[in-house]
Amino acid sequence: MFLARNFTKTARTVISRGKHTLPKLPYDYAALEPIICREIMELHHQKHHQTYVNNLNAAEEQLEDAKCKSDTTKIIQLAPALRFNGGGHINHTIFWQNLSPEKSTPSDDLKKAIESQWKSFEEFKKELSALTVAVQGSGWGWLGYNKKTSKLQLAALPNQDPLEASTGLIPLFGIDVWEHAYYLQYKNVRPSYVEAIWDIANWNDISCRYQEAKKLS
């Protein structure tokens, strides 16, 4: 009993040292206006992303406790919470970096890959936009990199399902189409939001992710 208590205490100490935290935005809350207003950014970052972080930490603490107790039922029960909140944290951490108030363009290497697969950047943009707008309910549209084929690939996922854990694709550029990402400004006109977000896409970040992903092929 003494060993079990000590083991649980040690596990909790390790978790407290490695808790997930809300990443700082690389720009001011108003920096993406008029595409995304300050109010949306503040709510999205401070409230929604923070909630995913808090719930992920709580779920991981419960997981460690369940492992210490060899409570297999509890471990299985925690899987949805870990997927949802872990995905929310992963997805949003990428999302903030994927956006920028500074204009940018894809690297020559990424541009070449896009044009090779979609004939033109506009065709690529059109296909990813349509895929993203068509997400039923809440979810994400993604440009990813397939390590097996060494090619770019598009995907749409529901809820906060993380791209790599769900499909094996390495996330390069994600478009959040949960209503909290746009409703205060765009109401129910999701296509207008998706079209506008291309104007603040951070192609420097997306291009860097592409270069790093290629190293894994």
Q: How confident is the model over 198-207, as pLDDT tens digits?
A: 999 999 999 9
> Which letter does DSSP use for residue 81 in this model?
H
Identify whether the C-beta of residue 71 lies closer than 8 Å to the C-beta of residue 62: no
**Was 199 annotated as part of a binding site?**
no
CATH topology of domain 38-98: Helix Hairpins (1.10.287)
CB atoms under 10 Å from CB of 158, counted, come to 12
- Determine if residue 176 is labeled as part of a ligand binding site: yes
Which pTM was predicted? Answer: 0.90
Q: Is 44 annotated as a binding residue?
A: yes
Two structure tokens written together for 109: 């290497």
Architecture category of domain 108-215 in CATH: 3-Layer(bab) Sandwich (3.55)
Residue spans of the domains in the chain: they are 38-98, 108-215
pLDDT value for 217? 84
Angle at 157 between CA 153 and CA 160, to 5 degrees: 130
Segments of the chain with pLDDT less than 50:
1-17
pLDDT at residue 3, rounded to an integer: 33
Q: What is the pLDDT of residue 18?
A: 77
